[in-house]
Structure 1
């Protein structure tokens, strides 16, 4: 049994004056990527200088205007990396790099040496302020902790005075969430006073949840309290730097934005110490899904993922929001059916607003258009199979046929697991479109005779193969299909009736074909069957569909054997249709 008594609830900050609950996120914050510092230091194999340069260039391309590039005073490779960016003139004028440094003279001196040549930079100082760290790590009083922050501020002020570019100060009371709120406000305001915060001397006050210690609403209360108790608020950029120890980093950040935060520090895909930093991509895509411009160029998540995985040697989990391989994939039959109907409804209504069940955004909007939304396994249903046939191959199966065909695919998936779209297509072709045994339609010649009352009688002369032998028959009806049915019924001594006929174009331009679906009834037995025909000529397409249905209904064993042979040829020895019974 878990020894839960070793732990105690962290006391919640009580702030009944809160107002954030009734607000909504209506615009993107200032984004600051800390991938190259906080994210990089959390890697088993930190990035090389060239890998960091490639990652930096990607961040610039994505639209980040503030990028924390490292801790140059603490690591030679981070010092060299920043020097490379500066000397190779790789930092655009509208991008500000940020460097982290402790409140120590020798580190600040080396940091400013590294910044030489920049027009602008953010110098980020920090010291821990929490009750626990003051007690067990530093053994210092509140006043002594404030002195550390003020010493660092004065040193930055000193070096900034001699720096030819513009320096903006960022101060973080590290372990903010474990700090008394009145004390956190006191130390931050002391820093603001020391820096002489004001017009042209704006300060970033960064409030990290260095370790998540409570629920997101408590963090939001803390942020709103600080927003209302900081001096010079109009000249303060209130920033948050959430971690994800409780798995609530995204929620904490979103509530912090409601509570007054102006800026977010985070990483792509949430990489960082322990369980990671807040995932900026998830935050940005969440805004996008609500009609808010995230102010980042995130149209191709696959390319972001590729650079990230290669440079960090990390792997994106398959259920990672938006980027994971399976996040836009439905296996459940009911989900697939709802997705299929939602997409159809959008097309029918010509809606410009995305509203599809189970899909909060259109995967195509973030570069996922070539990945299957619906994947078929034993849990799938008719809606999923129909969606694959429509979305990937253009076949819009009639509702009754969806269930009939899905039964074949489910039988296969129960034996072999997931069935690929290509396998589904191959089985469809073999089972319906290419079902030409034992009777195989070859040609038709029709003649129309006017009846005098604006109606016509069609006479059809059909050539076909029956078990390999060329034969012909004639039929008469009120159109080509009716004429062929009457002639075929007489020729084969069967009694058949068309229950439903549907057709649509397949493809576009000069390559367009007509696909026809025939739902046929054996009047004597009540048995029904579907057939599918495909041709650039609509009449030939419908007659092929009729012959397909007759083969499947009256000659199931021969049709089955011929279909199996075709599948074997296409699938190099695999026999998925061995699972199928007679159709």
Structure 2
């Protein structure tokens, strides 16, 4: 095992809280969202954003509806300072938006922070210091009293700095950094000491932000910590409780959701979870989680594709294709059974678009995020007949009967395996055309004529090359039955129509029609074919002829070149009026 030794670690201690109430609560509205993309997310980038990139990101966050945006650490770097000054001086901060800035609890940094904020209408000044035992002992070498003194002095400097700019509406925010690994009684004690300086009970707006700076426990333990803190904080009703979760254990979204149930009013996070190490809590995921439960997230995510594009352009970070809600592939089904269920679910919704959304495998309507239905079903070697049929219907208006969809899915699967990847919609249509829609020349329908002779239909059919046409005549209960009889009478070929389907592709007298047929010749291998015609009769006759030609080719048993020589061509119509002679072809078999 080498150094991979689990005994070097210890379990996180749970909170003794037999009176926990949060598991029985439900969320009914969104928390206050605060984006920290321009500070926490920016600091985590290999190449921090330029001022122009930060402006683009800021404008995106405003458009999405964020009311609080942390715009930087102006005392820490000149680019951050310049950016804060620019959005203030250029009046780029909408009236409904409050900017937030971060500073350590050091006097010079706090003074520089207020200098950057000069002239702003309203702002949150966020001051922090580390409070957990590890940092107290290993970084600062101070006891509880020493760390608390840092927090109190920082609060006093913030209060003094704000007094120099009475024209601004100030909100003070304090974070006991690494709250989740700080003793809970001490976290309450230090926050109460800060409140004694700021006096939220006397009207000063105060936010107490409780970070899981390094996620160390299961989400339910973090929720217990938040509820414990809220239960014991004096003057809880005068402050706003905020959480700031990191994703070291991959549970930041869950922890933030449970924290809101436990009493948090506000959630800090970033788009797509950008941030140090494994990142911050992903606001987009949590907001969409609420949306999928019928709760207004108070953020506009309908421009999902644009959000992803701007995020990548500004940060250089790519949105993973399986990212919850926004990844390229999250509304894509490759599995055959999933594709079939989605197709049927979408059909079921037709005519009831205002009903509650319930479609298999799609927890929300992709269109709500600006995604196209074309992305829902994509085809590879794992796909089935439902997916292939859905793509043809969605993109090309071709509805396949179940038996043909099953046959064609094997064709597409073979192509996908050969390509070793996804098969595009255009490739699927090309495969469909080449495999079913191009009859051999000897089986190409040139003309036909139908007439009624008592209870039967008489058919004269001309097929084959123009220079050497074949003329067949026969009778039957319908047009296809007459064609089959003509093959027997003329060439002694016995064809059995095993499957048949037809439908119009449009409306009106000029509508085109499609017919699908599966035919076996002389009890040999069956073959399928599809034909399009000016009417259903023309399409039906060509589909049967094409399928016969394919069956003959499969069996290598017979061809029209062995049949009777061409006869003089009679005068027949290129198409007849559809006389209803097809009969019940979906159920009948002809031989």
1:223: how far off?
1.1
Q: Distance in 2 between matches of 1:345 and 1:16?
A: 47
Number of residue pairs matched?
A: 552
Structure 1: stretches of 5+ with no match in the other structure: 559-583
Worse overlay, 316-325 or 513-522? 513-522
Which residue of structure 1 aligns with residue 539 of structure 2? Answer: 541
1:159: how far off?
2.2
Q: Distance in 1 between matches of 2:511 and 2:227?
A: 61
1:512: how far off?
6.3
- State whether structure 2 residue 109 is matched by structure 1 residue 110: no
Whether contact under 8 Å (1:329, 1:373) holds in the other structure is yes
Q: Where in structure 2 are the equivalents of 1:141-156 lying within 5 Å?
A: 141-156=143-158
- State whether structure 2 residue 288 is matched by structure 1 residue 285: yes
1:197/1:490 CA distance change after superposition, 3 Å: farther
Q: Distance in 2 between matches of 1:316 and 1:513?
A: 44
1:467/1:550 CA distance change after superposition, 3 Å: farther
Q: Distance in 1 between matches of 2:7 and 2:181?
A: 21
- State whether structure 2 residue 384 is matched by structure 1 residue 385: no
1:55: how far off?
0.7
Whether contact under 8 Å (1:438, 1:467) holds in the other structure is no
Q: Distance in 1 between matches of 2:524 and 2:21?
A: 68
Which residue of structure 1 aligns with residue 129 of structure 2? Answer: 127
1:505: how far off?
4.7
1:521: how far off?
4.7
Worse overlay, 129-138 or 370-379? 370-379
From 365, 388, 396, give the equivalent of 1:362.
365
- State whether structure 2 residue 264 is matched by structure 1 residue 261: yes
1:504/1:175 CA distance change after superposition, 3 Å: farther
1:28: how far off?
1.4
Which residue of structure 2 aligns with residue 552 of structure 1? Answer: 550
From 415, 426, 430, give the equivalent of 2:430.
426
Whether contact under 8 Å (2:511, 2:535) holds in the other structure is no
Q: Distance in 2 between matches of 1:59 and 1:489?
A: 74
1:511: how far off?
9.7
- State whether structure 2 residue 526 is matched by structure 1 residue 528: yes
Deviations 1:353-411 (A, max 9, x none): 33233322232321221653333333332233223223332322211112211112222
Which residue of structure 2 aligns with residue 95 of structure 1? Answer: 97
Which residue of structure 1 aligns with residue 58 of structure 2? Answer: 56
Which residue of structure 2 aligns with residue 17 of structure 1? Answer: 19
1:14/1:490 CA distance change after superposition, 3 Å: farther
Whether contact under 8 Å (1:394, 1:507) holds in the other structure is no
Whether contact under 8 Å (2:383, 2:413) holds in the other structure is yes
Worse overlay, 506-515 or 417-426? 506-515
Q: CA RMSD in A?
A: 2.5
| Matched position secondary structure for 1:24 | coil
| Matched position secondary structure for 2:226 | helix
Q: Where in structure 2 are the equivalents of 1:444-483 lying within 5 Å?
A: 444-448=448-452, 457-466=456-465, 469-483=468-482
Whether contact under 8 Å (1:49, 1:81) holds in the other structure is yes
Structure 2: stretches of 5+ with no match in the other structure: 557-591
Q: Where in structure 2 are the equivalents of 1:160-171 lying within 5 Å?
A: 160-163=162-165, 164-171=167-174
Which residue of structure 2 aligns with residue 417 of structure 1? Answer: 420
| Matched position secondary structure for 2:469 | strand
1:152: how far off?
1.7
